């Protein structure tokens, strides 16, 4: 866990005295600069970047997000994820389209780990490699649906301001357009992200399978904002599913190391 340095401010009583100059060892740490988190392409619009920074601040801000280590959620009420953001360890479990249960214990940064299909551990190297890559693709997709606004300023993103537009619920919004340059599994995608003027939060998004498409494949809500730990996360993305989102102060190491069921969290 992160330790915080508490600065004690001692007020002199009785005689008033002028404050002494701080020594080099006592110099305060520099203030956090949000611009250091901007990694989008040079073709991005300053206004779009400004709106993105403002909505991230509404969600709790970069420093609160950095302190958020353990998350869990069910993607549309299905695949269960546990994620250690600091180490990259992920646990994903659920049921495949074939009806068989699956479990993945992987590190998304190192792209290695273990896998179980139908209760049996995968041991064949090539099959395991494919399973780990499949797990990483699940995580990339499912986590993007969870925390997309924190990724608006990621490397490889071109962020444009697409003007003002009324959302499907009638409220006014600023629209951000995201396109991608050779990043992720589907760099051909395009998104329109609607930042509501009344809340400053993302409240709707549209997905275009191909950047050249004129009409979106879908437009869905991004609502039901709730506070988890120090940050706000949207809980409603359509289909009336309970994502069971949680931020944890800690998780047992066994969550990421053992195939035993997770209980009591």
CATH number of 232's domain: 2.50.20
In a domain, 246, yes or no: yes
**pTM metric for this prediction:** 0.86
In a domain, 1, yes or no: no
In a domain, 155, yes or no: yes
- The pLDDT confidence band at residue 20, using thresholds 50, 70 and 90, is very low
According to the model, what pLDDT value does residue 28 have?
Answer: 65
In a domain, 198, yes or no: yes
**In the block, residue with structure tokens 């120090």:** 230
pLDDT for residue 254 is more than 90: yes
Sheet holding 101-107, edge to edge: 120-121, 112-117, 101-107, 89-95, 79-84, 70-75, 246-248
| Average pLDDT estimate for 117-136 | 96
In a domain, 172, yes or no: yes
Q: What region, left, alpha or beta, does residue 259 occupy, with left being phi > 0 and alpha being psi -120 to 50 degrees?
A: alpha
According to the model, what pLDDT value does residue 24 have?
Answer: 45
Range of the domain at 216: 41-257
Q: For 18, phi and psi rounded to 5 degrees?
A: -75, 145
Give the percent of the chain with pLDDT over 90: 81
In a domain, 29, yes or no: no
| Whole-number average pLDDT of the chain | 90
| Average pLDDT estimate for 191-213 | 97
Dist CA 12 CA 6 (whole Å)? 19
- The pLDDT confidence band at residue 150, using thresholds 50, 70 and 90, is very high
According to the model, what pLDDT value does residue 27 have?
Answer: 59
pLDDT for residue 1 is more than 70: no
| Average pLDDT estimate for 8-35 | 51
Question: Longest C-alpha distance within the chain, in Å?
Answer: 79
Dist CA 217 CA 209 (whole Å)? 7
According to the model, what pLDDT value does residue 140 have?
Answer: 96
In a domain, 183, yes or no: yes
Q: How many domains does the chain have?
A: 1
In a domain, 15, yes or no: no
- The pLDDT confidence band at residue 220, using thresholds 50, 70 and 90, is very high
Alpha helices in 13-124 (DSSP H): 46-58, 62-67
């Amino acid at each position: 866990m992160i330790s915080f340095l508490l600065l004690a401010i001692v007020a002199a009583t009785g005689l008033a005295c002028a404050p002494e100059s701080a020594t080099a060892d006592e110099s305060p740490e520099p203030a956090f600069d949000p611009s250091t988190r901007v990694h989008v392409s040079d073709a991005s619009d300053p206004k779009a970047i400004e709106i993105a920074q403002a909505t991230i601040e509404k969600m709790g801000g970069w420093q609160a997000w950095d302190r958020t280590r353990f998350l869990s959620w069910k993607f549309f009420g299905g695949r269960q994820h546990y994620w250690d953001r600091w180490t990259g360890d992920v646990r994903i479990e659920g049921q495949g389209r074939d009806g068989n249960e699956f479990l993945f214990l992987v590190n998304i940064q190192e792209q290695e780990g273990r896998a179980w299909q139908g209760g049996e551990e995968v041991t064949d190297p090539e099959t395991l490699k494919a399973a780990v890559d499949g797990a990483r693709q699940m995580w990339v997709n499912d986590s993007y649906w969870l925390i997309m606004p924190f990724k608006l300023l990621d490397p490889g993103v071109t962020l444009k301001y697409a003007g003002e537009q009324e959302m499907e619920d009638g409220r006014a919004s600023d629209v951000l357009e995201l396109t991608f340059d050779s990043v992720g599994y589907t760099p051909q995608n395009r998104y329109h992200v609607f930042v509501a003027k009344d809340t400053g939060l993302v409240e709707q998004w549209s997905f275009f399978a191909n950047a050249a498409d004129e009409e979106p494949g879908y437009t869905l809500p991004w609502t039901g904002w709730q506070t988890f730990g120090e940050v706000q996360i949207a809980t409603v993305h359509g289909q009336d599913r309970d994502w069971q989102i949680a931020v944890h102060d800690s998780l047992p190491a066994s969550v990421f190391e053992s195939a035993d069921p997770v209980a009591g969290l």
